[in-house]
């Protein structure tokens, strides 16, 4: 299981890991019941601290995307499809926000931004 | 209560002018703590106190929940210790050194030792003085690991070693704590090593503990700020180790959330601080 983490990413490491796993769930690469590496294994594998991977898994547990059974390990939960869909929408909102912030920062006009958006929609979707 | 593998409470010790004062450190089982500080800050003194190689003036040290002086033999049987300059007999072979060391431990396991030597590519018939610096450290590490310790204490294990050997060591440490009952306490002034794998970081400066917390919390809270000189007004009391260059200032802040609540940061640059940055700015504070 490859989880992309990068030192140049401003997000904290645990967030990169939890979002990396979340993305794999959203894309259907990880399915309900699939086993995840143990917290310690993953830390060793990524050469990062145990507390970091622990926190990442904790985040995913809070979001009910994984469950951890003591002594058995962590597994992808039987997540609610509707919940996943709304999570996905949240993620899209997040990404669009990023683009809008970038446009604002670089002085792109609202009108031009709208034009680009509709042009892409028309061409790609 | 959480199970702590190492507990240091209000530890003090003076040495002429140098004073180690009120050191408090807690390391839970299952984790790695990096012990960071400049040369002469008190790292080795603290470690020697844990190992009962020097006497403390006051305070308490508990290893595996037991007093380190009262239960010294019992505790040391389960500690793997690598000192800054491992004491070897130069003329002895690696094999003989192990033969000598194993007598001190009840749990010595020859297969672990042989396995580690093989992994490290160390010829056990070689004499200690024929080994390179990296090989010596790895021999010391193999010796420290062969009696199945629960706590590994390493004093500057990576200093003077190349990145390849350092990486091998980090790998061994990560393997070591796969068993959640174990712990690692290692000092280093090479902070990048600690930043990679340590769960907890304790920072010592001039004999005093500046902070001792989860590494992620430290790195999420302590930040560098930069800005134009005219932004400085009103900020100064919250800036640590302020450095003024011709066109801008740079300083450390210890809590980004509190700082952002108190000040307008829109015209400042807030950047991540690594452990080196924190050390440097703390040192500058004193000058």
Distance of CA B56 to the CA centre of its chain: 20
A43 to chain B: closest CA residue: B174
Question: How far B138 CA lies from chain A's nearest CA (Å)?
Answer: 19
Contact by Cβ (8 Å): B21, B41: no
Give the per-residue pLDDT at B287.
59
B271 to chain A: closest CA residue: A10
Residue A83 scores a pLDDT above 90: no
CB within 8 Å: A51 and B215: yes
Q: Which strands form B66-67's sheet, in the order they lie side by side?
A: B18-28, B4-15, B58-63, B66-67
A51 to chain B: closest CA residue: B199
CB within 8 Å: B199 and A49: yes
Q: Does A40 touch chain B (CB under 8 A)?
A: yes
Distance of CA B177 to the CA centre of its chain: 15
Backbone phi, psi, residue B255, to 5° = -150, 100
Token pair belonging to A63: 């979001």
Which residue from B170, B199, B214 is facing A47, i.e. has the nearest CB? B170
Residue bearing tokens 């194993």: B102
Residue B35's DSSP bridge partners are B187, B202
Residue bearing tokens 């340590």: B198
Residue (of B42, B20, B38) closest to B283 by Cα position: B38
Give the per-residue pLDDT at B2.
54
**Chain segment A27-66, per-residue pLDDT in tens:** 889 999 999 999 999 999 999 999 999 999 999 999 889 9
Residue B248: partners with Cβ closer than 8 Å, 6 or more residues away: B226, B227, B228, B229
Helix (H, G, I), strand (E, B) or coil at B201: strand
Token pair belonging to B3: 């199970």
Token pair belonging to B100: 């000598």
CB within 8 Å: B198 and A55: no
Helix (H, G, I), strand (E, B) or coil at B9: strand
CB within 8 Å: B171 and A47: yes
CB within 8 Å: B178 and A13: no
Contact by Cβ (8 Å): B125, B93: yes
Distance CA B122, CA B107 (A): 22
Chain A residue numbers touching B219 (CB-CB < 8 A): 12
Q: Which helix (H) or strand (E) holds B153?
A: strand B151-155
Domains in chain B with CATH codes: 4-78+150-211 (3.40.50.300), 222-286 (no CATH)
Distance CA A18, CA A29 (A): 15
Percent of the residues in chain A that have a pLDDT greater than 90, as a whole number: 65
Contact by Cβ (8 Å): B168, B133: no
Contact by Cβ (8 Å): A53, A16: no
Residue bearing tokens 């904790």: A58
Of the residues A17, A49, A68, A104, the best mutation for testing chain B's interface (the one with the most B CB atoms within 10 Å of its CB) is A49
Q: Does A85 touch chain B (CB under 8 A)?
A: no
C-alpha atoms less than 13 angstroms from C-alpha of B183 in its C-beta half-sphere:
21
CB within 8 Å: B219 and A12: yes
Length of chain A: 125
Question: How far A13 CA lies from chain B's nearest CA (Å)?
Answer: 8
Q: Does A41 touch chain B (CB under 8 A)?
A: yes
Note down pLDDT in tens along chain B; length 287 residues. Answer: 459 999 999 999 998 889 999 999 999 999 999 999 988 899 999 999 999 999 999 999 999 999 999 999 999 999 999 998 877 888 899 999 999 999 999 999 999 999 999 999 999 999 999 999 899 999 999 999 999 999 999 999 988 888 999 999 999 999 999 999 999 999 988 888 888 899 999 999 999 999 999 999 999 999 999 999 988 888 989 999 999 999 999 999 999 999 999 998 888 999 999 999 998 898 887 65
Distance CA B212, CA A114 (A): 50
Of the residues A41, A50, A52, the best mutation for testing chain B's interface (the one with the most B CB atoms within 10 Å of its CB) is A50
Q: Are strands B58-63 and B4-15 parallel, antiparallel or unpaired?
A: antiparallel
Chain A residue numbers touching B180 (CB-CB < 8 A): 40
Distance CA B162, CA B132 (A): 11
**How large is the average pLDDT for residues A94-103?**
92
Distance CA A42, CA A46 (A): 6
Helix (H, G, I), strand (E, B) or coil at B63: strand
Residue (of B97, B84, B206) closest to B156 by Cα position: B84
Distance CA B124, CA B121 (A): 9
Of the residues B33, B178, B184, the best mutation for testing chain A's interface (the one with the most A CB atoms within 10 Å of its CB) is B178
- What is the predicted ipTM? 0.80
CB within 8 Å: A40 and B197: no
Question: How far A80 CA lies from chain B's nearest CA (Å)?
Answer: 31
Q: Which residue has the higher pLDDT, B114 or A80?
A: B114
């Amino acid at each position: 299981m490859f989880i992309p983490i990068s030192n140049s990413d401003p997000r904290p490491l645990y967030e990169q890991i939890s979002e990396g796993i979340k993305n794999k769930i959203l894309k259907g690469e990880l399915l309900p019941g699939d086993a995840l590496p143990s917290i310690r294994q993953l830390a060793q594998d990524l050469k990062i601290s145990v507390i970091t991977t622990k926190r990442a898994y904790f985040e995913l547990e809070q979001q009910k995307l994984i469950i951890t059974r003591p002594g058995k390990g962590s597994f992808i939960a039987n997540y609610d499809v509707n919940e996943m869909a709304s999570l996905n929408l949240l993620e899209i909102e997040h990404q669009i926000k990023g683009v809008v912030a970038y446009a604002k920062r670089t002085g792109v006009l609202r009108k031009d931004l709208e034009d680009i958006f509709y042009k892409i929609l028309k061409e790609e979707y | 209560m959480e199970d702590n593998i190492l507990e240091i409470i209000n530890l003090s010790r003076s040495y002429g002018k140098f004073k180690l004062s009120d050191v408090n450190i807690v390391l839970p089982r299952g984790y790695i703590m990096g012990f960071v500080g400049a040369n002469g800050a008190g790292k080795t003194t603290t470690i020697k106190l844990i190992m009962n190689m020097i006497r403390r003036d006051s305070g308490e040290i508990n290893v595996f929940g037991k007093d380190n002086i009262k239960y010294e033999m019992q505790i040391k049987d389960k500690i793997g210790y690598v000192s800054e300059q491992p004491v070897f007999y130069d003329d002895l072979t690696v094999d003989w050194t192990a033969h000598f060391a194993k007598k001190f431990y009840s749990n010595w396991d020859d297969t672990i030792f042989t396995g580690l030597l093989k992994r490290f590519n160390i010829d056990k018939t070689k004499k200690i003085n024929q080994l390179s610096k990296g090989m010596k450290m790895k021999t010391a590490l193999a010796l420290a690991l062969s009696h199945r310790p629960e706590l590994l204490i390493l004093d500057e294990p990576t200093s003077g070693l190349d990145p390849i050997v350092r990486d091998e060591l980090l790998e061994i440490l990560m393997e070591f704590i796969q068993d959640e009952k174990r712990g690692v306490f290692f000092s280093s002034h090479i902070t990048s090593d600690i930043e990679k794998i340590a769960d907890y970081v304790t920072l010592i400066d001039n004999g005093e503990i500046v902070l001792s917390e989860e590494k992620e919390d430290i790195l999420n809270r302590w930040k560098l700020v930069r800005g134009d000189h005219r932004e400085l007004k009103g900020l100064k009391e919250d800036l640590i180790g302020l450095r003024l260059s011709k066109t801008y200032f740079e300083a450390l802040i210890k809590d980004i959330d509190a700082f952002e609540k108190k000040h307008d940061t829109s015209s400042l640059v807030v950047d991540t601080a690594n452990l080196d940055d924190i050390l440097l700015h703390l040192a500058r504070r004193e000058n």
